[in-house]
Amino acid sequence: MFYCIFISCFLHISKVVSEAMTVNISLCFYKTPEEFHHEGDVVIGAFFPIHTYYSPNKVPHPSVPYKYMDNYLQYNFKNYQYILALVFAIEEINENPNLLPNISLGFDFYNVRFTEKETLMNVCFWLTGQGQKKILPNYNCAKNNFTTALTGTSWTTSAQIGTLLQLFKFPQLSFGPYDPILSDRGQYSSLYQMAPKYSSISRGIVSLMVHFRWSWVGLILPDDHKGYIILSELREDMERKGVCIAFVKMILLTLTSYYNKFWENMDKTNVIIIYGDVDSLTGLMRNIGQRLLTAKVWVMNIEPHITDYADYFMFDSFHGSLIFTHKYRESFDLTTFIQTVNPYKYPEDIYLPKLWHLFFKCSFSDIDCLLLANCQSNASLDVLPSHILDMTISEESNNIYNAVYAVAHSLHQMSLQQVQKQPHENGEAMAFFPWQLNIFLKDINERGNISLDWRHKLNGEYDILNLWNLPKGLGQKVKIGSFSANAPEGQQLSLSEHMIQWAGGFSEIPQSVCSESCRPGFRKVILEGKAICCYNCTPCADNEISNETDVDQCVKCPESHYANTEKNHCFQKTVSFLAYEEPLGITLASITLCLSALTAFVIGVFVKYRDTPIVKANNRGLSYTLLITITFCLLCSLNFIGQPNTASCILQQNIFGVAFTVALATVLAKAITVVIAFKATFPGRMVRWLMTSRAPNYIIPICTLIQLLLCGIWMATSPPFIDQDVHAEHGQILLFCNKGSSVAFHCVLGYLCSLALGGYTMAFLSRNLPDTFNESKFLSFSMLVFFCVWVTFLPVYHSTKGKVMVAMEVFSILASSAALLGFIFAPKCYIILFRPDRNSFHHIRDKTHSQRNTSLKI
């Protein structure tokens, strides 16, 4: 805070000192005539804006609308180069013996002060030859041979003068920027524009915006036809390149437009484009300089000509500005000529004495205001800083030089025609009317002149300059790039970024956006009712990425890839399956082997004790069959673990279906055998036949054949195959065996459940039969568990994905197999191994006798 207060005080003190020094300037400095003359046989009228009056308070005069109160004199010595270019061209032509021999060119200079009345008054003074004495319409009192008028720098000045000169068909050459209105031959038939037509500046400016990612910029344009033309072009190019307009401010002709309301919302963006001519931008440039808007990047088509605050280089509003200038072919070298210019060589010049007095400490005579010779020894225009007088030839000066040569060549052609028709006698000077030059100027204007090359076009080529307002306001312009509309797309803009000096407050490339950039992993969401540059950022959807900033749409990863957590890269998915190496696979395989080993142990026990009553009483053959089948049921689960292949996919379902069919058919046969054995005590030949023929054992092959038929149909129509699921697990491609026909799989499973339900029914009905080793209760429990396991399996199986789904099927196989082994054979093994006293004929006889006594008592 203290630093800012100190700087403000310093600037105020400097301003006061500057004003105090101004008091010592001679009053002769403020005598500002509006004209001076350079003698010649043929005279060119030059209307240049060198000095004007402005009102710092911007208060219009109460009765005269084109005047302002509290006017101050303002010199724009940069425009003095126009006079130098004019003098240089005229002297060069006058010294050329081959061009206009015996004829000298001269000029009448009149200052343009940007008020229409005074501009037209000066034209009338020139046409009548009366100076500023009196206006005599349609009379030329000086009898000068007028040729043409040079006008500029803006279209308004040329149009105002052209409207008057058009009445006399008086030729007029405009050296300012090309304007389509001035090319209207119906309205300005005698006006010729020296500047070629360029139409690509908007493309160049927008290319610069795109290069620096400036998507939110403001526009300040003149409120005239040129302003609306460039606004249309900029809008079109910006929309095509995705650059948005933060605001548009149109500069009105009255200075009241620069009141505070005009500067509202100026802080919405860091980059502002200013387009216009000297006339329309003078007031704006002065206000920008006075407001010290240092934290802005101004992109302009003209160089600011304001030097009031140039000494405060650190706080200069235009330091770091970027200027687009037409690239043109310079027709002459002005530097050497400028070194020879002084007020004693050209005493008629009204500006040279002021320059010498102001910058080289020369004094005026108090009597007649003539400049005295007590000046600094090194007094020369080429030592002046560039913000006072630039040695680089401006485009306008180049156009003035070419315009003078166009007039000279037209006069030369006219002279040759007159000599051919009627030779001059006694050295008489050429006599002509100004309108006669139109035919020659029109010819040069339409087809160009190869020798002069003043109509040479560079097809929209621009130099991009960076304004360095170095200490003491040197205002150095440094070329930092170029734009060529004819270059291939992507190569039109060329920049040397390391040379750019940015405006105060920016240590690096400034940012000018409506919304912060969406980083990779996010995409833009346009806000309704807002510009496309104003948006929110939202993360990409699942398995979508964005690896660039400010993308409109995220890109979906291929099926074989997955998006990382940041959603800015796609990575290759790894192949996954229920492997033996992972914990789940190891656990299931270990359980399978343990249960298989336990089943083998039970088989060994039953074989060893095959002659004991408990083994014989429970149908030894069916028990062996069931134990062996349970072993296959357990081992078939190993087909579901490991990397699947075609053979394993087919074997999985076939072995599973057939093995469990045999097991369940065996259980059903055992249950029926128990019932038949109980019925054998009753009279009846049929029951005895069933018991002696072992007919229930045929249930096993019959049921197995039915299951084989179902599996055969399944394999023939839609067999299982290897499939992959890219969505089941993040970052993995799951390999699994697709069932092929879901109907066939459910038919096989439904058939197994029906066998289990049948076995459970038969066992349940015989649970209370009075037999010593009745296993009906155990059969019913095992079938009940089997049925519940597979009925529960169906909804769980369809609600899981990936390896869990495969593990669920393996678990169901192991659970149902363990149920058969545990509920049917665990009680028998307990009696055989731990209660051998109950596994004897004596125990059976005593138990049978006890049951009979109980029956007799009842």
For the chain, the straight-line distance linking the first and the last C-alpha, in angstroms and rounded, comes to: 116
* Residues 626-659: tens digit of each pLDDT: 899 989 989 988 888 888 888 888 888 888 888 8
Q: Which residue has the higher pLDDT, 384 or 453?
A: 384
**Does the CA dihedral 291-292-296-298 come out positive or negative?**
positive
Domains, the chain, in order of start with CATH, read: 34-197+331-447 (3.40.50.2300), 522-572 (no CATH), 583-857 (1.20.1070)
* Residues 8-19: tens digit of each pLDDT: 443 443 343 333
* Residues 168-214: tens digit of each pLDDT: 888 999 988 888 888 888 888 889 988 877 778 899 999 999 999 99
Q: Where are the alpha helices (DSSP H) in 183-264?
A: 201-211, 225-241
Average pLDDT on 453-475 reads 67
Q: In the structure, what pLDDT confidence band is assigned to residue 246 with cuts at 50, 70 and 90?
A: very high
What SS3 class is residue 330?
Answer: coil
Q: Which residue has the higher pLDDT, 87 or 695?
A: 87
Instruction: Copy the structure tokens of residue 520.
Output: 């990779």
Q: For the chain, how many residues are written?
A: 858
Tell me the Ramachandran region of residue 198: left when phi exceeds 0, alpha when psi lies from -120 to 50, beta otherwise. beta
Whether the CB-CB separation of 546 and 555 falls below 8 Å is answered with yes
Short-list 224, 464, 428, CA closest to 326? 464
Q: In the structure, what pLDDT confidence band is assigned to residue 450 with cuts at 50, 70 and 90?
A: very low
Whether the CB-CB separation of 175 and 403 falls below 8 Å is answered with yes
What is the distance between the alpha carbons of residues 518 and 512, in angstroms, rounded to a whole number? 15
81-90, 241-250, 252-261, 760-769: segment of lowest average pLDDT: 252-261
Tell me the Ramachandran region of residue 259: left when phi exceeds 0, alpha when psi lies from -120 to 50, beta otherwise. beta
47-61, 427-441, 596-610: segment of lowest average pLDDT: 47-61
Average pLDDT over the chain, rounded to an integer: 79
